[in-house]
Structure formats: C-alpha cells, structure tokens
Amino acid sequence: MFLGGLLLLAFSNCKIDEKPKYEDFNETEFNMVPGIVTKITRTPIIGNRPHYSWSEINIYYAYNLDSDTILVGKEMDVDLALKEGDGFYILVHKADKKISFIAGSRLLPSDQKIIENYLKKSKDHGVKYFGIDEK
C-alpha cells in the first residue's frame, strides 16, 4: 500500500511539456500581426465505429514577415477555413515572440500588403516561403 502511494505521488508530480495555451495569458500581453499559412496537414482520427472518422486539421504558419528573422508556429486541430498561402492574423506574445496563436482570417488591406511583400521577397530569393525550412 505504501509503495503504491509513493508511485502515485511520484507520477502525479511529473509534468508533461505542453505548449502554453492562450487561456494561460492576459489578452493585453499580445500584439496582433499578419501571418501566412505555410503548410496544412490532416491527421486522420478513427472513431469507435468504422463509419465514424474525421481529420484533425493542423496549420503551420510564419509571422514576423517584414523582418529577415521569420518566426514559425503551428496550431493543431484548427477549425478555420484556411489554405496554404492564405494571410491571417496571429497573436504574438509581447515578451516572448515565439509564443503565438491563430487569431482570425480576415486581413486589412494594409496587412495584406505585408503578405504580398513577403511573397515577393520569397520569389526573389527563389523559395516558396522565405525563412522557412521546407523539410
């Protein structure tokens, strides 16, 4: 009984490395910036019945597009109508720019210009997406 309690205590104190959630922060800690979808994957999910299955949509994106240091992020199981190359908004943490979340899919014309300039820069460098490792 004592050994079981020790094992339970030991395993309950183990933390899994999880990506931070938006809910972990205050909304004032973020800036909204334009980003671009660089890849979309679908992970098949099989339900408990043969005819009950669906795909989890995973979106990979780039942001900080008006810089030479492009940052990347991903959201798993997203329910947004986006396709590769689409521009959309990203919430970026002010203190740690590597923390980001998808915010929405409608870009203002001024922000659409940032996407267009980024795509032109990518084309000028002969790559699909500048600053993105395409492996």
CA distance 52 to 88: 31
Q: pTM for the whole thing? A: 0.78
Residue type, 8: L
How do residues 45-104 score in pLDDT, each as one tens digit?
Answer: 776 666 666 778 899 999 999 998 999 999 988 888 889 999 999 999 999 999 999 998
What's the mean pLDDT in 29-39?
95
DSSP string, 32-62: EEEEEEEEEEEEEEE-SSTT-EEEEEEEEEE
